[in-house]
Amino acid sequence: MVFPAIVVVLLFNYVPMYGIQLAFRDYDFTKGLTGGAWRGLHYFEQFVTNYMFADLMKNTVTISLATIILGFPAPIVLALILNQVKWRRAKKTLQTTVYLPHFISIVVMVGLLNVLLSPNTGIVGHILDWLGWGDFNMLASTRAFVPVYVLSDIWQHCGWNSIIYLAALSTVDPQLYDSAKIDGAGRWQTILHVDLPAIKPTIIILFILSMGNVLGTGFEKVFLMQNALNLPVSEVIVTYVYKIGIISNQFSYSAAIGLFNTLINFIFLVAMNAISRRASNISLW
């Protein structure tokens, strides 16, 4: 019964891994996935010495770190707030509402940003105008790109990502709240000393997982949000791989950049896992 799944995974996940050697060879279309003559680290050198390299690294790390630093705690905070809402109807309504944006596709999401943030015709443009910020085109600004990217990401996924923390909070023994109250803890202290410790393991595991993706910054959204004006801050490794590889057909060079990206991701993951195992005995493997 597991056979079809094994075939699919081997063919579509493991065969491309075997094809990674393309990054060390010259691509030759007659030889297919494994390429032609051996070139060693040639393409890696080409990438690291490329004038784009510093910018690509900087943009990728900036966007990823901003997403983690702001985006990671947001669902935790939201879950803690939702957990305090005792009126069931209000809680359900709020939950349903905050889950909704998660189902919007990335294309539509970026389209939404485009119409709402448009400086002349969008509603946010009008609000900025009204606040006296004038014609600030957030979509074409190098300063606004990262904030718009990160905040819209939080808007879209924060609610959905809070589900897992809410689930963890729902398993807290009610007696703990009672005894905290007897000890004289206020509501705020209960969050600090009962709720947070209860979801700590969940937080750590999810944090490790998200660190593993530090340079894997969502291709689709960045790609769709790119325009000629914000390109200096919006070109990241994955979009560059797409442009060099799929558009300009430099397969080996592009594969090398992709591998570089994967390796750094992996190092981040392993490092974070090691740190968390030392610090809290929680680890992915």
Partner 1 sequence: MELAAKKNKSAGDAVFDAVIVVLCAFIFLIVAYPLYFVVIASVSDSTLVSTGHVILFPKGFSLFGYHEIFKDARIWTGYKNTIVYTLLGTFVNLLFTLPAAYALSRPEFRARRFLMLLFVVTMFFNGGLIPTYILMKGLHLTNNLWVFIIPFSVNIYNLIIARTFLENAIPKELYEAASMDGCTHFTFFMKVAMPLSKSVVSVIGLYYLVAHWNDFFTALIYIRSNSLQPLQIVLRDILLSNQVFAGGAGTGGDAGGYAQRYADQIKYGVIIVSTLPILLVYPFIQKYFEKGVMIGSIKG
Interaction residues for partner 1, span 126-165 (CB under 8 A): 126, 155, 159, 163-164
36 contributes a contact to partner 1 by CB under 8 A? no
With beta carbons less than 8 A apart as the criterion, state whether 239 and 215 touch: no
Q: How far is it, in rounded angstroms, from Cα 4 to Cα 237?
A: 34
The interface with partner 1 within residues 185-204 (CB under 8 A) comprises: 186-188, 201-202
**What is the nearest approach in angstroms of partner 1 to the Cβ of residue 94?**
6
- Asked if residue 119 binds partner 1 (CB under 8 A), the reply is no
* Distance (Å, whole) CA 34 – CA 184: 68
How big is the chain by its Cα radius of gyration, in Å?
23
Q: Which of 41, 69, 246, 274 binds partner 1 (CB under 8 A)?
A: 246
Shortest reach from residue 205's CB to partner 1, in Å: 5
Does 14 bind partner 1 (CB under 8 A)? Our answer is yes
Residue type, 86: K
267 binds partner 1 (CB under 8 A): no
**Which region, left, alpha or beta, applies to residue 92 given φ > 0 means left and ψ of -120 to 50 means alpha?**
alpha
d(CA 2, CA 189): 49
Instruction: Check residue 37 for interaction with partner 1 (CB under 8 A).
Output: no
Residue type, position 36, single letter: G
Q: Is 182 in the site for partner 1 (CB under 8 A)?
A: no
Name the one range near partner 1 by CB under 8 A: 54-62, 77-85, 172-180, 192-200: 77-85
How far apart (Å, rounded) are the C-alpha atoms in residues 189 and 201?
19
- Measured from the CB atom, the residue of 25 and 59 that comes closer to partner 1 is 25
